[in-house]
Amino acid sequence: MGFQNNIFFQKVRDYSVSKEIFELHHNPEYDLLITFPKPSIEKLPSYYESEDYISHTDGKRTLFERMYHLIKNIALKNKLKLINTKSQKGKLLDIGAGTGDFLVVANNDGWETNGIEPSEKAKAIAISKGVNFSDNLSELESNSFDVITMWHVLEHVPNLEEYIIELKRLLKPSGTIIIAVPNFKSFDAEYYGKFWAAYDVPRHIWHFSKTAIDKLFSEKKMKLVEVLPMKFDSFYVSLLSEKYKTSKMNFIKAFFVGLKSNLSGNKTKEYSSHIYIIKNH
């Protein structure tokens, strides 16, 4: 999987940490955008070193952070409901577990849980809540998980093909992978263009379409069975995009762009973010 014959798409700035400019290249075979240049493994952690990298903290310093955590609590209930409808209770692996809140609610609901989280800061917060972690995927047993979840994580993974192979290895024959990623084909992505916050370069290395997810996983003998919208994401992403575009948190404008994106998604089935349900086969 070399992702050859990529075409320049547009330039995008890293607004949240380095302020550096990166390019997005489009791969027509997979309908996938790729951040270029891809940061080295050594340099990549420096792009996460920000007090504003909200998923690595439990901070509630500002109205924006308080709103984020309010919506996160609603999302946690929805995620739990989703895994319970897609699988019998069993072993759950959450990759990119952050501060551990999803694993806490799943564990309390009867799931046997484990997490992977590269941020030591976020992991320490999660461990204080009683969350179990493994250091890396390679130490985990093959065919051992009923459900593997990656909530806005796959776009961060440096070695995409190797990672998908590992997911296949870890999943039970009847298991389910649930992946949430932004969708660069959404209305809000088109509306904000280079200011679209969900490009989040260079932390987001890959920018997926439905075609890309379907093709990437089917090549590894897994089947995309369902695509679900994440309707809250359009509001959150539009709010951040407004900040990048105008230097202001324009809540009213962001609300209407987010609403318009969801209404557009109702017709086109292209929402700001999607949840992909993938089965082993």
Measured CA to CA in angstroms, residue 162 lies from 1, 28, 136, 166 at distances of: 10, 21, 13, 6
Cα angle 151, 69, 122 (rounded to 5 degrees) comes to 60
Contacts of 232 (CB under 8 A, 6+ apart): 71, 74, 75
7-280: CATH superfamily? Vaccinia Virus protein VP39 (3.40.50.150)
Measured CA to CA in angstroms, residue 189 lies from 80, 179, 182, 233 at distances of: 28, 19, 9, 12
Using a cut of 0.75, tell me whether the model's pTM lies above it.
yes
Query: Which pLDDT tens digits describe the chain residue by residue (281 residues)?
Result: 678 889 999 999 999 999 999 999 999 999 999 999 999 999 998 998 876 554 545 555 676 667 766 777 888 999 999 999 999 999 999 999 999 999 999 999 999 999 999 988 889 999 999 999 999 999 999 999 999 999 999 999 999 999 999 999 999 999 999 999 999 999 999 999 999 999 999 999 999 999 999 999 999 999 999 999 999 999 999 999 999 999 998 999 999 999 999 999 999 999 999 999 999 87
Give the pLDDT of residue 50: 72
Among 58, 12, 44, smallest CA distance to 156 is for 44
Name residue, tokens 């920018």: 207
Give the pLDDT of residue 54: 47
What would the two tokens of residue 193 be? 């263009």
Give the pLDDT of residue 30: 97
Rg (CA), the chain: 18
Give the pLDDT of residue 52: 54
Domain boundaries, the chain: 7-280
37-46 exposure pattern, b = at least 16 Cβ within 10 A, e = fewer = eebeeeebee
Measured CA to CA in angstroms, residue 201 lies from 66, 110, 155, 196 at distances of: 24, 37, 10, 10
Check the CA dihedral 66-71-76-77 and report its sign: positive
Check the CA dihedral 239-241-244-248 and report its sign: negative
Judged by DSSP in three states, 201 sits in coil
Total residue count of the chain as it appears in this document: 281
Give the pLDDT of residue 1: 61
Separation between Cα atoms, residue 33 and residue 212, nearest integer Å:
9
